[in-house]
Structure 1
Amino acid sequence: MSWGSENQGYQQPGYQQPGYQQGYGYGYGHGQQPDPYGQGYGYGQQPYPQQYTDYGQQQAADSTAPLPVMEEPKPEPEPVGGLEAEAAVGAEEEKPPPPAELTGRDRYFDTLRALALIRVVAYHTFGWAWAGMVFPSMGIMFGLAGTLMAKSLERPAVKVVRSRLRRLLPPFWFWGFFVVVAMLIHDWMPGWQIVFWIVPLGDPPGNQWGVQAWEILWYLRTYLWFVLLSPALLWLFRKAPVPVLLLSLAPILVLNFVWAGPPDRLGNALWDFSTYLFCWMLGFAHRDGVLQKMKPALVVVLSLAAMGFGGWYAFTHQGEVGTYDLDEIPLAQAFWSAGFVMLLMWAKAHFGIDFAGLTRFKRLDRLVTIFNARAVTIYLWHEIALILAVPLIDQFWNVPAFETYLPLESQWFMFGIGWILIAVFVLACGWVEDVAGRKKPRLLP
């Protein structure tokens, strides 16, 4: 898990996402951070006229894995989409994990997913507008999830979908229990929309108090849509691979220029689905060898053209949103991610990149394994870790030595404390992913 930060605060016509009016400070004296979410996951000040109504959520004004970045445990374990633990992680419960090259794992994909998750956390700490252009984590995570889904669908579709739901929903329910109870304590009055906390086919409702925690659920909702529609999408893709791949950019163009979608949860879902549809289909193309058959010059030209259009559109429309951040501009996000992920996928296929040498660096390899096996946990709990880092750092100001020698006002210090708390959540809550995958619960995979 972008695994993954991000996403669309696409205040395109008819598209509204919640966001932050202040950063992680929440009114604390020391350590209050500037708002890194002029969109947080795309939830920010929207550039376009609002058409969305309040549909049971006290929505705030509005991003990109890692999370960001699920097969049956037997005969072959299956990962959980973009935020999934990859197939072979922890599959042998009673034996030490074998080398990556013997398990069928691909360290190239593992490393991309780990980097995507790190980028998601960094973005939510610092709010760098340029982060999405340097590394579009959510597009990468959807691309990785797409190729893994195509591999999984070599088995019966019903079995694959059921397996992925089983791997995804229990960690979501476990995390959601704490968030929902906390919001109820803070005067939240839910309506019938609370059913979306059971199956997040639409945005789960919540109040302003908990928005920073639950706004990231756009990714799980979008991933769930892709999982349910993948059998049909893959069938359609294999009928005419290249035309269908190119046409997968059409929905975002329609939403941006023709019809903005309905002003409700369905509209939100359509925007997110359309933005990352091309990346998901690229995963299919990689799995089926379509990219490998394309001429290198054509791939490079198409990729650079897509990124060029996405970058141009972002910079020429920053006056409307107040930033060139891709997470605020869905059309730019779609094209930039399309070109970037196409280059990554093509390079993997053309050059046979596998990062197998990573296994020689045992600690680094172990860290990548943990990121992939606990991707859902990292993605779900990272926002809560960053929220808790603020009052924790505030207490450090009461210790003279800490005040003198520690950079308590630095966001980098907050970033470090955030990762310490994420590690705590991985140890305390990561076992839920093992249970969901029908494996023996472990502190670490």
Structure 2
Amino acid sequence: MSWEQQQGYGQPYPQGYDGYRYGEQLYPQQYPQQYADYGHVAAAEATATEATVAEATAPLPVVEPAPEPDAGPEPRPEPDPGPEPRASAAEERRPRAKSRPTGRDRYFDTLRAVALIRVVTYHTFGWAWCGMVFPSMGIMFGLAGTLMAKSLERPAAKVLRSRLRRLLPPFWFWGVFVVLAMLIHDWIPDWQIVYWIVPLGDPPGNAWGEQAWEILWYLRTYLWFVLLSPLLLPVFRLAPVPVLALSLAPILVLNFVWSGPDNRLGSALWDLSTYLFCWILGFAHRDGVLQRMKPAPVVVLSFAALGYGGWYAFSHQADFGTYDLDENPLAQAFWSAGFVMLLMWAKVYFRIDFAWLTRFKRLDRTVTVFNARAVTIYLWHEIALVLAVPLIDQFWNVPAFEKYLPLDSQWFMFGIGWVLIALFVVLCGWVEDVAAKKKPRLLP
């Protein structure tokens, strides 16, 4: 469009007007002959100003545009970039940064720290109700399953090497002391000592060291879950909800149909079956399956599992001598399933993250240490409790200690046990840093 068209010029002139308004108004000197043809214009030039002439000659008032300053050559218009290019299919499927928050999940970190405290409490006091108040093992397997599903976003072989590297060196370091102590106390090993290198089965030992090595069932079960996860995770993703429900079937089969072999394989099958649902539940949390489930079914199924587990524990006390879940695999499996499902679903549904924990620096620091030294605390806590007994015995030789300290109280032993655990964390925790290829530190 020309400049004249933009300003409204070039429109048809009123009837009877045959002049050039544009030229008359702006450039009268360029049209002397035309002005000569209009006598009234010539007379007006002699007796009036240019403005009067324009008013006398123009049949309609003309509004002149204000002269614009010379801005140089007209700038070249920028090309139209067109519509914003659409993201590729791969970019559309890629999760947004906010969907994978950075940093550690303080909710899960807190659950792991409380689980470790509950384990030490149970091994100190032996309270049968501890497992019902807080099923630590089920919670720890659920959290480990979530982390494993996250790790398997990388190549499986690399993940397995990383997990073995993080687990085995702390186990070997701890095992050297336990094995040497048992050898000193008349233990004669055989070929089964290989299980102290790779604990795919329960490592052997004598009765003297049983309190120390009996906790290794957890490491053995965890190791098997890690090795099986590259197969379990794809199967779970084929049909998440059915696979999650069917993960309780193995413990039912072992309990009512076939009890399995009476050897290391049988022990491994019982423990894997007991906590399989919790491990798969970790997959479900990581993949967002719990987030898509409606509240009513989750709550109903969770309480149904809790109800069945609790009923089976109390109704079979005569068979196991107690209602302790650690002695009753079927009750443990269902109680842990319902409890852990509620914890993980509540995190998603109510968006619990425990971000407020960072405002309490000492508490947040404690949770950090517990998570960074989880393997050390678990392995060494029984040894700490064992050593607490002869240490307290020496306190009786000090009259002031005998008079003012509750030396015969289990709570006192509980406190001394934690002091020794803290000492082991400082002296032995650096092995976890080395296993993780980090700079060794006394405290993380």
Per the normalisation by structure 2, the TM-score is 0.77
Counterpart of 1:347 in structure 2 is 346
Deviation at 1:169, TM superposition (A): 0.2
Distance of 2:325 and 2:419 partners within structure 1: 29
- Correspondence for 1:430: 429
1:380-436 per-residue CA deviation (whole Å, 9 max, x = no partner) reads 000000000000001111111111110111100000000000000000000000000
Partner of 1:14: none
Taking the TM superposition and a 5 Å limit, the aligned residue runs for 1:56-95 are none
Query: Residue 124 of structure 1 aligns with which residue?
Result: 123
- Corresponding residue number in structure 2 for 1:395: 394
Matches within 5 A, 1:43-442: 103-442=102-441
Give the partner amino acid of 1:308. G
**TM-score, normalisation: structure 1:** 0.77
State the distance in 2 between where 1:184 and 1:260 align: 34
**Dislocated runs of 4+, deviation >6 Å:** none
SS at match of 1:279: helix
The whole-number CA distance in structure 1 between the counterparts of 2:284 and 2:320 is 34
Amino acid at match of 1:254: V
**Amino acid of the structure 2 residue aligned with 1:121:** V
Equivalent AA in structure 1 for residue 244 of structure 2? L
Deviation at 1:104, TM superposition (A): 1.8
Amino acid aligned to 1:328:
E
Call closer, same or farther: CA 1:374–1:286 in 2, change over 3 Å. same
Structure 2: distance between partners of 1:207 and 1:286: 41
Distance 1:352 1:150 in 2: 20
CA distance, structure 2, for counterparts of residue 407 and residue 317 of structure 1: 37
User: Displacement of 1:351 after TM fit?
Assistant: 1.1
Shift of 1:102: 7.9
Gapped runs of 5+ residues in structure 1? 1-100
Work out the CA distance in 2 between the residues paired with 1:420 and 1:375: 16
**1:103 to partner: Cα distance:** 4.6
Q: Equivalents in 2 of 1:422, 1:358: separation in Å?
A: 24
Return the letter of the residue paired with 2:411: W
Once residues 149 and 351 of structure 1 are traced to their aligned partners in structure 2, the CA distance between those partners, rounded to angstroms, is 24
Structure having the larger proportion of residues in helix: 2
1:165 positional shift:
0.3
Which consecutive residues of structure 2, in runs of 5 or more, have no partner in the other structure? 1-99
Quick one: distance in 2 between partners of 1:102 and 1:330? 36
Between the aligned residues of both structures, percent identity stands at 86
Structure 1 residue 349: deviation in Å? 1.0
Between the aligned partners of 2:296 and 2:408, the Cα distance in structure 1 is 48
Q: d(CA) in 2 for partners of 1:232 and 1:352?
A: 30
What amino acid is the match of 1:299?
V
Partner Cα distance (1:297, 1:400) in 2: 62
Match of 2:66 in 1: none
Q: By how many angstroms is 1:322 displaced?
A: 1.3
Q: CA offsets per residue over residues 257-300 of structure 1, 9 Å max, x none?
A: 00000110000000000000000000000000001111101100
Deviations along 1:136-176, whole A, 9 cap, x unmatched?
00000000000000000000011001100000000000000
The letter for the 1-side match of 2:274 is: T
Q: 1:102 to 1:361 in 2, by over 3 A?
A: farther
State the alpha-carbon separation in 2 of the partners of residues 388 and 304 from structure 1.
41
Residue identity matched to 2:327:
E
* 2:339 aligned counterpart, secondary structure: helix
Secondary structure of 2:441's counterpart equals coil
Q: CA deviation at 1:217?
A: 0.2
Return the alpha-carbon distance in structure 2 between the equivalents of residues 380 and 251 of structure 1. Answer: 28
Partners of 1:183 and 1:337 lie apart in 2 by 34
Which whole-Å CA distance do the structure 2 matches of 1:311 and 1:271 have between them?
19
Distance in structure 2 (CA, Å) of the matches to 1:403 and 1:409: 9
Q: Name 1:72's counterpart in structure 2.
A: none
Distance 2:368 2:330 in 1: 33
* SS class of match (2:198): coil
Cα RMSD between the aligned structures? Answer: 0.9
2: CA distance between counterparts of 1:292 and 1:304?
Answer: 18
Deviation at 1:230, TM superposition (A): 0.3
Give SS of 2:186's match.
Answer: coil
- Structure 2 residue identity aligned to 1:355: F
Equivalent residue letter for 1:358: L
Larger radius of gyration between Structure 1 and Structure 2: 2
In structure 2, distance between residues paired with 1:255 and 1:173: 32
**Aligned residues between the structures:** 345
